[in-house]
Structures are given as structure tokens and as C-alpha cells.
Structure 1
Amino acid sequence: SRRSDVGEPLYLTPLIQSGDITTAQDLARVTDPLPGTESTPMESYSGFITVDEAFDSNTFFWFFPAQVDPAEAPVVIWLQGGPGSSSLFGLLELHGPIITRFDENGDTVGTVNEYTWAKKANMLYIDNPVGSGYSYTKTSGLPTSQEDVAIDLYEFLIQWFTMFPQYQANEFYAFGESYGGKWVPTIAKKIHDENPTADLKINLAGIGIGDGFMSPPETAVYGDYLYQ
């Protein structure tokens, strides 16, 4: 059935900053069965991390630990394109552990995705940048460059790995599609630049881009080439 009351937003940054990561994880744990998956218990965590207090910039995430050996599995973030599309599209329509559809009554129902990437990867879906999906900010806090996006996303990742320290040593991959062709290499470069002096180092192992929107001037001539 439809649910209109989802409660209050969960802001995790105060708990992360105070070092109370056990409470942060406990509160972020999604306890209600996902629609259509009542018979298949599924561990996941969700909430908001504040990436810029001055602009009230808050990034939403939904995390699914790997179904097989999460302690050793890589951490993979998924960044949707757009720009401005929610990464929940990737979660609920592409490679998440559940795929959603509408039933004959117009209610959202889910089915377990047997081909989910979460079988062998710790999947972290992030509404990026702020202003996309459930992530929000003041108008003055909206990013105006790739560098702005990378600064916010890097701050999110540092806090997230602080909240989930058991994954800090795991290989880390940034994946995305479409305009993610810009988000992905930009955050990878940001991590590469920050790691040498960072207290918390992210174990960057690689990136993946699907149908990437990377260089519009070059892409513009692909049509003539493909038509030949």
C-alpha cells in the first residue's frame, strides 16, 4: 500500500562528528521490508550527510552491503547522469537489489533482482550533486562547476567512510552513466589529489563510465561518423 508519512529526515553528520558511529549505523538501518521483498530480508542503510553547513547542503544516500563477503567486496558508488537525475534510477531500475514497477492499482511494488551488482559489490547510491533527487541545498549552495560537485562529494565520502570504517580498506570504484561521464573522473581526480595528505585515505582502484557524456564538441561529430 502507499505510504505518505515517511517520518523526519535522518541527518547523520552530528553523530559522525561526535564519533557515535554505532548509533549512526543503527539509525540509518532500513528496517521496513522493501515492497515485494518481504520474504527476502535485505540489509541496507540510508540517510542524509551534511556536506556544507553554511549552505545547508545535504546529500542523500542508500547503501546496500554486498550479499557475498562484504568485508572483502569493493565499494562501488553509482552516480546518475542528467545532470540532476537521482541515482535511485540506477538502484530501482538498473542494477540494484530490487527492481520496482507499478501494479494494476498504481502502487509501487518491487521484485528481487537476481542480477544485481550488490551480489558482489557494496553498492552506494548517491543523489549527486546537491539539488538532485532527495539531496538539497539553498539556492546559493548549488554547484556551478565540476570542481564544486567534487568538493561536496568528497566531503560526503570522507564522512561516509568515517561512519562505516569497516569498508575503509576495501577497493573503491566510482561508476556512472551519461553525465556521470563528468562526475566520475572528476571525483576520481579529487580523491587522487587529496589522498597523499588526507588523514582518511580512500582506496581508489578504478572508475567505470557507461554511455558517458564527456566532451560535447567531440560527441557532436559522432553522428556523421556513425551514419557512414
Structure 2
Amino acid sequence: LLCALLLAASLVKAAPSADEVTYLPGLAKQPSFRQYSGYLHVGQNKHLHYWFVEAQSNPESSPLVLWLNGGPGCSSMTGLLTEHGPFTIQPDGTTLQYNDYSWNKIANMLYLESPAGVGFSYSDDKNYATNDTEVAHNNYLALKEFLRLFPEYGQNSLFLTGESYAGIYIPTLAEWVMQDASINLKGLAVGNGLSSYEINDNSLVYFSYYHGLLGTRLWTDLQNFCCSQGKCNFHKNPNLNCTLRMEEMIQIVEESGLNIYNLYAPCAGGVPGVYREPRAPGGLSSPGGKFPPLSQSLLQTLAAKKGLHLEPPCTNSTASSLYLNAPQVLKALHISPEAPKWSICSSEVNHNYNRLYMTMNDQYLKLLGTKKYRILVYNGDID
């Protein structure tokens, strides 16, 4: 009987001790909750870095929340260290402060760097070309591996969450998870997500005008050249005049130095840059994926004027880069020597990423059709 009880106890609490972060540099006081950092091995040669922080109270019964940043190609460490993780990186790049608004006050938070090539995640063959379908499957396999390593969370309510290009990551991952009866999926949440290129393109025009960014002349031209019988198409309009006015509109938003994450806040670093993904079917976006992508015809027009580069707009990642690449932090987080140097976004992953979906309508309809899942799609009114 004693042996059976001991075996049962080992199965209930089986978190990998080698991954536990016992001392995290930069904190004045170490946390009372447990945290883990290591790798989830996917397929034959991919190693996805995770950082898991237990809920600050009742972790055994609190929900498990997976978080993914977007891009494609941007690190979820940004979500952890600058958004809703338990620690907030300070400007000195060495100090962490506790976040009063951390999501781990009520949930067990799993931050995953995906796909391979992003952040500290890597592939043995260094081949970082991928696509939406492969990433969705690999994220599912990574989640399964996490639950194998942490079986005590196997029956907890699971929520899949993310922002920006996670508008693609999360619904496509949910398609895999909803077919797995062993996973207790309860819902998903997407913030400022890319769920439809057409909706993004069309909504950007109205957003810009109603926030006072467009003058009367340009607004009138957009209405005249892009609209017919009360319906406007700013996404893939065959009218060249519409495309040209869209270019003008984008340049106003892009080159005026506005902070696209908060129009009323300063823009760190001055006028922002953007990356352009020539292989993307709708290829203009910020590395966070929050800047609404445009149609291919407009992309080609703009790309001729400005080179391709990867630079998060109005974002200063210096502090995060200094902290995460510090030797003592690499050791504390059990980062593999094979991992790339950490950066906020990977240009290699982004440039070699094949976007397969124009919309997530089918995925959401499939999820909603089950009447089993809670779904939250939220967007800011000034970003």
C-alpha cells in the first residue's frame, strides 16, 4: 500500500527538477511560486524553449494558459518580461520588478518560443523555413510534451492565448487540441490578432480616419476610388487610384513617428521601421504582427521604395536583450549552448515563413460549432 501511494504521488507531481529555476538574477527577492525553464523536444530535431511560471496561489487547481507572441518570428519572452508575466524588465537591462498585474496571479502561465529559430528555440539542422500548418502541429506536439513532463496539470482547464500573428497560431493550434480528448481545452483568447487580411486592411482605413490621421481630401479620394454602392474594398481593389491612395494612407501612418501600439504615447526610437515579407500573401506588418497587413499589390509598390528589414516599431528591446543574453541568466534558464543569441524577433524565421491562411473564419466556426469553448477576441481602440 505504501509503495502504491508513493507511486501515485510521483505521478501527480512529476515536474522536471532539472528545469526548475531556483535562482533568477535581477530580483531583489526570489518568488514564492515555482518556475521552470527548458526545452520541449518536437519531432526529430526541433527544440522549443519554454518558461513556465506556476500560479501564485492554488496552482494545482488554477487554469493552465499557453501564451504565444506573434510575428511570425517574435519571442514570447516579450510577453513575459514586458506585458503580463510576473516580472517586468527594467531599463538597466539587469533588474526585474514584480508585476502587480501578472496573469500568474490567477493562472499557471506557459510561455513558448515558437517556431524553432525564435528566441532560444532552435533546430539541429538550422533549417528555419516553416509554414502555418507545420507550426500548428509543432505547437500541439510541444504542448503534449509539456503535459508529459508536467502531468499534474493534465486535467487543469487549458486556455490558448496570444497576440498579433497568434491570431493565426491560436485557432490553428486549437484545431489540433480540440481533437485530443486527453487535453481539457476550455477556450482561447486572441488580442490584436491577425484573423483576416481583408478585415485588417479595411479596418485600418476607418481606424486612421476616425483617429484624425487622414485629411478630408484623402478620405474623400478613398471613398471615391475604393467604394461602390456603399461598400468599400481597401484590401484588393483593382482600381489603381485606390491602391495609390492606400499607399498614401499607409505612409501617413507609418512614417509620421506615431506609436502604432498606442497612438497617444511617445514612439521609442523615433520614426518606426517595418519589415516586409515578400512571400507573404498580405505582407506588410510589424514584427509583432499588430500592424495591419496589406494586399500584395500595395506591398510591391511600397517595397520598391524601401528595403526589407526587421525592426519592431516604437519598441526598445535593448533591456530585454541585455538581460536574456547575460551569462548568469542563460545559466539560470538552462539555455542550450546550441541556441541562437536571443533577439526580440528573428528575421530569418520571418523571411522564410510561408503564410497559408487568409482568414480564420473556418477555424472559428469549427470551434464555435461545438458549443464547448469560451472564445475572446479583443482589440485596443488606440493601437
Normalising by structure 1, we get a TM-score of 0.81
| CA deviation after TM superposition for structure 1 residue 38, in Å | 2.3
Q: Give distance in 2, aligned partners of 1:39 and 1:170.
A: 26
Q: Give distance in 2, aligned partners of 1:166 and 1:61.
A: 17
Name the aligned partner's letter for residue 38 of structure 2: G
Show the counterpart of 2:204.
223
Which residue, 97, 104, 111 being the options, matches 1:111? 97
Larger strand percent: 1
Q: Give distance in 1, aligned partners of 2:36 and 2:205.
A: 46
Show the counterpart of 1:211.
192
Which residue, 16, 33, 37 being the options, matches 1:46? 37
Tell me the SS of whatever aligns to 1:221. Answer: helix
Tell me the SS of whatever aligns to 2:83. Answer: helix
Pair 1:80–1:26, CA change in 2 (3 A):
same
Pair 1:100–1:23, CA change in 2 (3 A):
same
Q: Give distance in 2, aligned partners of 1:39 and 1:203.
A: 31
Q: Give distance in 2, aligned partners of 1:133 and 1:177.
A: 16
| CA deviation after TM superposition for structure 1 residue 144, in Å | 2.7
Contact 2:14 2:150 in 1 (8 A): no
Show the counterpart of 2:61.
72
Contact 1:21 1:163 in 2 (8 A): no
Contact 2:65 2:107 in 1 (8 A): yes
Show the counterpart of 1:178.
164
Contact 1:128 1:153 in 2 (8 A): yes
| CA deviation after TM superposition for structure 1 residue 102, in Å | 2.6
| CA deviation after TM superposition for structure 1 residue 70, in Å | 0.6
Which residue, 96, 110, 117 being the options, matches 2:85? 96
Pair 1:133–1:33, CA change in 2 (3 A):
closer
Name the aligned partner's letter for residue 75 of structure 2: S
Q: Give distance in 2, aligned partners of 1:167 and 1:20.
A: 11
Pair 1:98–1:39, CA change in 2 (3 A):
same
Which residue, 40, 51, 62 being the options, matches 2:51? 62
| CA deviation after TM superposition for structure 1 residue 52, in Å | 1.6
Structure 2: segments with no counterpart, 5+ residues = 1-9, 211-383
Q: Give distance in 2, aligned partners of 1:33 and 1:223.
A: 41
Post-superposition Cα deviations, 1:52-103, rounded to whole Å, max 9, x if no partner, equal 21xx210000000101111110000100011111100000000100001133
| Corresponding pairs, count | 199
Post-superposition Cα deviations, 1:119-171, rounded to whole Å, max 9, x if no partner, equal 1100000001111111111344x353211001111111111101111111100
Show the counterpart of 1:147.
133
Normalising by structure 2, we get a TM-score of 0.49
Contact 2:27 2:96 in 1 (8 A): yes
| CA deviation after TM superposition for structure 1 residue 223, in Å | 2.6
| Identical positions, percent | 35
Pair 1:57–1:20, CA change in 2 (3 A):
farther
Show the counterpart of 1:81.
70
Pair 1:33–1:225, CA change in 2 (3 A):
closer
